[in-house]
A and B are shown apart, each in its own frame.
Chain A
């Protein structure tokens, strides 16, 4: 079966769910090989094999993670030349897309970003214009490079050999020209990363102020969810800008999206319309967000949301 290279997202060897999603997707188009960059392979190898990695290519040179994007693209270009895979799959994060873009130029191949599905013949499904249009695209030149959005597949275990091979990469001087001199971790509490979370709880103009977000956060925590905000809320300074969901912010596609006090302008819908299940709380029955709702309550969010948080905590015991 054709080899499919999968770039693994991980934190010090703790494999992210997105990598398991990619391995699962890769199995439907060929035989996945994991590409693991950085430290921690001893923690990761068993998981990667369990989810179907036939081979695990390990590259742990410090230059790979100490510089912006370019070294990872060079590593993948080298692996494509050596292994002639049928495709390269990368998670559709900001960095993942940049790696894909540089790789495309290096290996003269087409690139498709933000796929939400891949068929057997490597046709990628994309959901564009805020989910209003479904597109099927194909790479026509070179080795297809496809970046896939988080939550596009449910990870399924399928044990494979997981043969480890260390990769030595010869990096060019140009690849190491943008040096990371410091990593600054900003406190974000225990909540999951917004774009990867299975559940997202968002608040908008109806939340009315920064203190109002406490009820949103409380609901999020009862569901182990990430917190999002509409542009109206971030522009007003009620919630930090990096949590904005929408056309000029993050695109999310969780299993469950709960929108409170958000009217549903295109700007916002563009960032959340592909969520699997959408629940809406808004006091305006005419709010366009109700068009997307699987379940909606017309009412005051400050009555409904706290009641919901309490009810969830009760039922979870």
Chain B
């Protein structure tokens, strides 16, 4: 089975994030980049499926130069090869343009499964997997907390819902996104880290992929940030120390605010 897992380099989850006043997009330079946490689950799931079906895993990342770190991390976990979609023309791409670039790069590579993490911790839209499925006309198997892909052309997932989960079936090729905790992502071993240095990473530019440069990047975005500002600080609240009546005091406050 041929599996591509799409990963994104994002600002460290625990860091303060800011918008760049000039482009009104995420300031990626001022914070440390890491592999999007949810993508680690996608890489692990891809590796597990590949191990069970004698398949191969290619990791794809679209992003600036430093995204190679995230590709290397996936390679050191065990992925076989990398694709880095790298082009200044892509900077500032919205979800619409990102899905176009990914779908175009992957369109004719004969991939059986395209696996994503269910959301990035920076943009948090959770729409790119659905958009890629739409563009490629492939079944959408998203928000999976269980994936069965035995390599016989079928794939079955448990899709998380408000009430529990839906069991969803499709045939491959298909697009999957996985949620946090679907598995326990492995740590790269020393051997894996050394091996990753020798694994092939193909760089694909907009021209290589045949993407119209005007269709991607900040200028092509179909929505724009008109303005932004720091949220007004919350008014300082009342803080009291419990002297045996803390619960009663909160109840008084909730009554005042008409919650009870």
Q: Footprint of B on A, CB under 8 Å?
A: 68-70, 73, 93-95, 97-98, 100-102, 104-106, 108-114, 123, 127-129, 131-142, 174, 177-186, 188, 193, 199, 223, 241-242, 247-249, 251, 255-256, 265-267, 277-279, 281, 285, 290-300, 303-312, 315-316
Contacts and interface: CB of A to CB of B under 8 A. Distances in A.
Contact of B240 (A186, A251, A298): A298
A287 B95 CA distance: 36
Interface in B87-101: 94-96, 99
Given A70-B140, A298-B241, 9 more contacts: A93-B162, A97-B130, A105-B131, A110-B222, A140-B224, A185-B163, A291-B234, A294-B237, A304-B250
A139 B242 contact: no
Given A127-B231, A136-B227, A265-B14, A295 B181 contact: no
A298 B242 contact: yes
30 contacts: A70-B140, A98-B126, A98-B130, A100-B127, A101-B127, A104-B95, A105-B96, A105-B134, A132-B16, A135-B225, A137-B224, A138-B223, A141-B222, A177-B138, A177-B170, A178-B140, A180-B159, A182-B166, A182-B167, A184-B165, A185-B164, A241-B180, A248-B38, A248-B121, A293-B237, A295-B237, A297-B246, A299-B241, A311-B250, A312-B254
B247 A102 contact: no
Contact of A133 (B95, B124, B231, B255): B231
Given A105-B96, A134-B231, A183 B166 contact: yes
B222 A133 contact: no
Contacts, number: 266
Contacts of B234: 278, 291-292, 294
A199 B259 contact: yes
A255 B260 CA distance: 13
Contact of A104 (B96, B167, B257): B96
A113 B168 contact: no
Contacts of B260: 223, 312, 315-316
A292 B135 CA distance: 42
Interface in B179-216: 180-181
B122 to A, nearest CB: 9
A134 B167 contact: no
Contacts of A293: 237, 239
Q: Which of A137, A199, A267 has the most CB of B within 10 A?
A: A137
Of listed B221, B231, B253, residue having the most chain A CB within 10 A: B231
Given A127-B231, A140-B224, A266-B16, A113 B127 contact: yes
A193 B162 CA distance: 7
Contacts of B259: 199, 223, 255-256, 277
B133 A70 contact: yes
Q: In terms of DSSP, what is the predominant structure of the interface of chain B?
A: mixed
B248 interface: yes
A101 B131 contact: yes
A188 to B, nearest CB: 8
A291 B234 CA distance: 8
Contact of B159 (A68, A128, A185, A316): A68
A161 to B, nearest CB: 31
A93 B160 CA distance: 12
Given A97-B125, A266-B16, A296-B237, A135 B228 contact: yes
Interface string B75-93: 0000000000000000000
Contact of B246 (A68, A105, A281): A281
A177 B130 contact: no
A286 B143 CA distance: 37
Contacts of A178: 139-141, 168-170, 174
A181 B141 CA distance: 13
B142 interface: yes
Contact of A111 (B18, B168, B223, B245): B223
Contacts of B257: 256, 277
Nearest to A193: B162
